[in-house]
Amino acid sequence: MGFSDIAGRLAAFFHFPNTAVRQLSYGVLIGFTLSLSATSIAHYYSEHRKQDKLEKQTSSRPIELRSDEIVHGVTGLIGNTPLIRINSLSNALGVEILGKAEFLNPGGSVKDRVALRMIEDAERQGLLHPHTGSRIFEGTVGSTGISIATIAKARGYDATIIMPDDVAEEKVKALQSLGAEVQRVRPTSIVDKKQYVNMARQAAGRFGQPSGVVGAVFSHEMVTGSPSVVVSTTSSHVRPEGTQDDPQDMELLTMPRGFFADQFENRSNFDAHYEGTGPEIWRQTNGEVGAFVSGAGTGGTIAGTGRYLKSMDENIKVVLADPEGSGLYNKMKFGVLYDHREAEGTKRRHQVDTVVEGIGINRMTNNIDLALPIIDDAFRITDAEAVAMSRYLVQHDGLFLGSSSACNLMACVKWVQKMGWKEGQTIVTVL
């Protein structure tokens, strides 16, 4: 039925002429159409104005930060470092070589984790109290010293770093820039009282005491109520966590203290990696780790990280990268902590004589003891190999890394070549 038929019937019903009804109907239809059009146009412009206003507000408003993007102090930057694929080596060897980018820590190395854990554990045990004028002492070749100096200032302590006089001058300048007191001594054996680690222990005992009086060495293993007692780092007594200081001892506990960090023997070194570095690597690789490669200075990194990874998958291999002059390679291969350059008639003045700093040692430590049982293989890396690798990485990957990182990556290459690994297998190391 058309519009004309409807208009005719309406005209007959109301007794109106057909022409009048038709005109009226057309008028109603046109008015309704215009009304819809006007409403649509008004709605369009209203929405357009709202959008313009929103864009202007957004462009002028600062970017909002989520609460999880804000860290509290410099210590909040430590850890959770990414894994970097070493493209040149991975592509050449047909495997995945991943480096844990520890140089992104605020102190520039993996030692930030260790320094933070040692200080936090000492505070929990009541050995250190911030903002009391206390001073942290450590014997180190540099990296741990930089980390301690950085974190000590952030936590309310001073730092004294005692180091061999043949370390890189850049490390000394960095320590001084961070406000640390630096003492440099001749390299010598650990049995010598003037060895840098022994001197750090002695300096902690003398701190804050009148001339001629030896004070307490507050170490990572014991707290004492008597300032005349020298605390042994081999003691097993630790004040239980959560216990409160006796009010009668508060004056003593808040006096300036000398704390000997003792990274070589301190279990906090191991724990930092067992509870931090290892779980991060496992998570970042989704558990797809074939081998973990690392050098050893104190032994904490390879012991803590290696033990955690093996606890998750016993088939993961742990590989040691050892520089010239260090005895750990021979300890692994032949059971004797000995370097061939120390043979009779050939021994040099210094036990560890190499351009590589930060890894390599010729004595056993508590952390090395934890590492040796879980190390599956070891490679000796020469100075020439380390230098060549460091230059190669700059030219092919844009990575400016130090000698210990170069040793680690050289050991990765040797491990892949020895094992004949297939495409897709993953090796993780520390940068």
User: Any idea which residue has 């930030």 for tokens?
Assistant: 112
Residue 334: other Cβ atoms inside 10 A = 9
- Of the ranges 91-105, 353-367, 417-431, the best mean pLDDT one: 91-105
Alpha-carbon distance of 3 to 24, in angstroms, equals 12
| C-alpha dist (Å) from residue 155 to 201, 257, 269, 360 | 21, 14, 18, 30
Taking alpha carbons only, the member of 144, 176, 139 closest to residue 161 is 139
Confidence of residue 149 (pLDDT cuts 50, 70, 90): very high
Please tell me which residue, 139 or 232, carries the higher pLDDT value: 139
CATH class of 77-106+269-430: alpha beta
What is the model's pTM? 0.76
The mean per-residue pLDDT over the stretch 118-136 comes to 94
Helices 403-419 and 383-397, packing angle to 10 deg: 90
Predicted confidence at residue 397, as pLDDT, reads 97
pLDDT at 64 over 80: no
pLDDT at 350 over 80: no
Predicted confidence at residue 54, as pLDDT, reads 64
Cα dihedral across residues 188, 271, 405, 147: positive or negative: negative
The mean per-residue pLDDT over the stretch 339-346 comes to 55
Lowest mean pLDDT among 16-30, 166-180, 348-362: 16-30
At 274-329, the pLDDT tens digits run: 999 999 999 999 999 999 999 999 999 999 999 999 999 999 999 999 998 888 98
What strand order describes the sheet that includes 83-85? 83-85, 96-100, 426-430, 291-294, 317-323, 377-381
At 198-217, the pLDDT tens digits run: 999 999 999 866 554 444 55
- The token pair at 301 is 């990194």
Q: Work out the mean pLDDT of the chain and round it to a whole number.
A: 82
> What is the architecture, at CATH level 2, of domain 111-260?
3-Layer(aba) Sandwich (3.40)
Confidence of residue 231 (pLDDT cuts 50, 70, 90): very low
The structural domains of the chain, with segments of one domain joined by +, span: 3-60, 77-106+269-430, 111-260
